[in-house]
Amino acid sequence: MTTIHNLGFPRIGAKRELKFALESYWKGESTRDALKDLGAQLRKRHWDNQAGLDFVPVGDFAFYDQMLDMSFTLGNLPERVRGFHGDTLDNYFRVARGRSAQGAEDHGTCCGGVAAGEMTKWFDTNYHYIVPEFTAATEFKLDTTRLLEQLAEAKAQGVKAKPVIIGPITYLAQGKAKDDLYKLALLPRLLPVYAQLLDALAAQGVEWVQIDEPILVTELDTDWQNAFKAAYEQLKNSRVKLLLATYFGQLLENRALAASLPVAGLHVDAINGRDDVLPLIDLLSADKVLSLGVINGRNIWKTDLTAVLDWIEPLAKRLGERLWVAPSCSLLHVPVDLNSEQKLDAEIKSWLAYAIQKLDELRVLGKALRSGRDSVKAELAENKAALAARRASPRVNNPAVQAAIAKIDAGLGKRDNTYALRAKKQAALLKLPAYPTTTIGSFPQTAEIRHARSEFKAGRLDNASYKTAMQAEIERSVREQETLGLDVLVHGEAERNDMVEYFGEQLQGYAFSQFGWVQSYGSRCVKPPILFGDISRPQAMTVEWSTYAQSLTKKPMKGMLTGPVTMLNWSFVRDDQPRSVSCKQLALAIREEVLDLEKAGVHVIQIDEAALREGLPLRKSQWQEYLDWAVESFRITANGVEDETQIHTHMCYSEFNDIIASIADMDADVITIETSRSDMELLDAFDNFNYPNEIGPGVYDIHSPNIPTQEHMVQLMKKAAERVPAERLWVNPDCGLKTRQWAEVLPALNNMVAAAKTLRQSA
Ligand code: GLN
Ligand code: ZN
């Protein structure tokens, strides 16, 4: 009989209860006990949601992050948080969020400032974990409190518990050495603690432990491959059975390694790694369980249950009891409950499944495998009908868009002339000084702006009044920019709630949910728009705002758009066509907007690609393929304009070393990037590549409330000029200013403009 199980459940709550409880606790408005109670309630509810599964994850709940939980379990706390008094939870939030020296201590009992642990993306998801820190002196010490408490709760509730932990190799691989430590040198110290942990779980009567090693879907060098063998050889004598879980990609060349590890079972992502499955079955010894992740844990679409059954029924015959079935990865990366959605279009809703619905699908699969398809006839028929309706829906299929995609040729993404020639024409038109100054787009989103928007959305403010309010904000930011003496102005993005949602709402083929929240980090969630159909642009999206802004000033006004790659990477996307196709559809739609802006007299147009880098596949060997279609999409969007029109792009990061050729290939006239915190050293990538076009390396760290001084920004630009010829440099902040206050922005930009003037004099 096939076993069905789950790898992890979203902990934030269907109505983001955990978010609100955390934030209230951090503000000192509620007690630690109230927070702990809420955690227990959520765990209880989520285990109820998973009733009927043969194994339910325990330990997947975290107040902030599962990696941070693991660091605490392993006793690996950064030196700087040791020796504090108070509760473990206080220390936990100290590492998670840091604490300022002056700031009032909300809940703890003492002292000075503590820097937060670094945060980074969990593989290719939009979830961010707290990076474990290691030094040559790192020692580990087991703390089972959290896990055993949750296990006891689960047992009391009658849950068939399968504790979940991060495996030792992934834990080391995803951490950071703070000195010249070679991380694998810590393995001999780490493994005994894992062995103790498994013993402690065995002592509680645990049968299976899920040990997550997603690092197996990435390229591993020999040392790391050997570390896998050594580690699991050492853990094999434990009294629990280990289910080694991999997810997010394909095992490929790591198949044999994964299959050879002395564990009781292996879970693979059969959505991304379907090709791994048959070879693995041949490689696995006959006593091992194979768990197939056949329900996509990364998207919000219904599973084609009949297709899955067609595929796995023969495997179930072959494997018998050894076959387990599950979602592809933890459901942490999908929203909780589709039934919360009250406003979502009913047709689109009928195509979707959130975490709870995905578990329903899992139960149907389980029943079909055990008792035959007839036992779930109605469910399968309903599922089939929903999928057929989606496939046939005219809202998904737009023949005009498909025809336009088929007609894309290389000429579409190519400008008429080279940068060198364009730059001359642009200089003649724009007449900018040396070291021209600009900003990245948004100005502070004030309480008044947010209030006007919520009133407008609630229908309490009419269209005309909302427009007047936004125009007043645009006028305010134009006046401020003129007073500051900036060279290329922006309208300030007052009318935008979010750089993706704003465009998605105006494009056909996008839908928006009310409760489609996914945890991004800590208490923060994102609600990605749902790209469900062929993308088209019924009408211009930004032209009115941009031309209004231009009418207020003689200085050049920069049009402001979000690029196709960023739209794609920050949305839930279709599973019925390649990402590259959806991206090109977005490119064609935004291209129309670029051309309309140009026609309306906007001569500088910025196309933000903040998320281009995050779309890189987990394996380097697949990078180029992604970069090729991503860059092509950008080029289609941007490069239909005349020589005189200056195209800007913006990216909020500074690691360009490994993708610089593709960035250059985009052929934007100007790229603005984030560099202020890196002391301009990251411009070396541009220098070494002889990057040919203009660059605006950010000189103002907009993430900090500090006001950068003129001298500091002059120094940064001088360093930049050692790497990029001065005539190709711009002066600008790192990113948009929407999260800052005007009181911070004005003095900072004033200093920035003064810095540019100083640089011009010394040039
Ligand atoms: N134009 C956007 C802004 O200024 C860019 C934001 C971003 O890169 N994340 O807010
Ligand atoms: Zn940015």
Verify whether ligand 1 is closer than 6 Å to residue 499 (CB atom).
Answer: yes
Atom of ligand 1 nearest to the CA of 560: 1
* pLDDT tens figures, 48-70: 999 999 999 999 999 999 999 99
> What values do phi and psi take at 175, rounded to 5?
-90, 180
Atom of ligand 1 nearest to the CA of 606: 1
> Among 79-93, 254-268, 278-292, 685-699, where is mean pLDDT lowest?
79-93
Nearest to 255 by CA among 227, 280, 290, 238: 280
Verify whether ligand 1 is closer than 6 Å to residue 648 (CB atom).
Answer: no
29, pLDDT greater than 90 = yes
Instruction: Write the residue with the smallest CA distance to atom 10 of ligand 1.
Output: 736
Q: What is the DSSP letter of 685?
A: H
* pLDDT tens figures, 8-28: 999 999 999 999 999 999 999
Nearest to 167 by CA among 195, 146, 147: 195
* pLDDT tens figures, 426-435: 999 999 999 9
- ipTM score over 0.90, yes or no: yes
CA of 612 from ligand 2 middle (Å) equals 11
Question: For residues 22 and 43, what is the distance between their CA atoms, to the nearest angstrom?
Answer: 15
Question: For residues 612 and 654, what is the distance between their CA atoms, to the nearest angstrom?
Answer: 12
Instruction: Write the residue with the smallest CA distance to atom 7 of ligand 1.
Output: 610
CA of 722 from ligand 1 middle (Å) equals 27
CA angle 314, 319, 325 (to 5 degrees): 80
CA of 97 from ligand 2 middle (Å) equals 22
165, pLDDT greater than 50 = yes
Nearest-ligand number for the alpha carbon of 738: 1
Three-class DSSP category at 267: strand
Residue 237 one-letter amino acid: N
* pLDDT tens figures, 433-455: 999 999 999 999 999 999 999 99
Q: Are 129 and 65 in contact (CB under 8 A)?
A: yes
Kindly report the average pLDDT of the chain as a whole number.
Answer: 96
Verify whether ligand 1 is closer than 6 Å to residue 671 (CB atom).
Answer: no
* pLDDT tens figures, 210-236: 999 999 999 999 999 999 999 999 999
Over residues 584-612, mean pLDDT? 98
Verify whether ligand 1 is closer than 6 Å to residue 560 (CB atom).
Answer: yes
Q: Are 571 and 530 in contact (CB under 8 A)?
A: yes
Q: What does the block give as tokens for 158?
A: 């009658």
Whether 85 is catalytic: no
Establish whether 111 is an annotated binding residue.
no
Establish whether 674 is an annotated binding residue.
yes
Give the pairing of strands 604-608 and 646-651: parallel
* Confidence tier at 763 by pLDDT (50, 70, 90): confident
Verify whether ligand 1 is closer than 6 Å to residue 610 (CB atom).
Answer: yes
373, pLDDT greater than 90 = yes
Q: Which residues surround ligand 2, an ion (CB under 5 A)?
A: 610, 652, 735
* pLDDT tens figures, 100-150: 654 433 333 344 578 888 999 999 999 999 999 999 999 999 999 999 999
Atom of ligand 1 nearest to the CA of 651: 8
Strands (E), 379-424: none
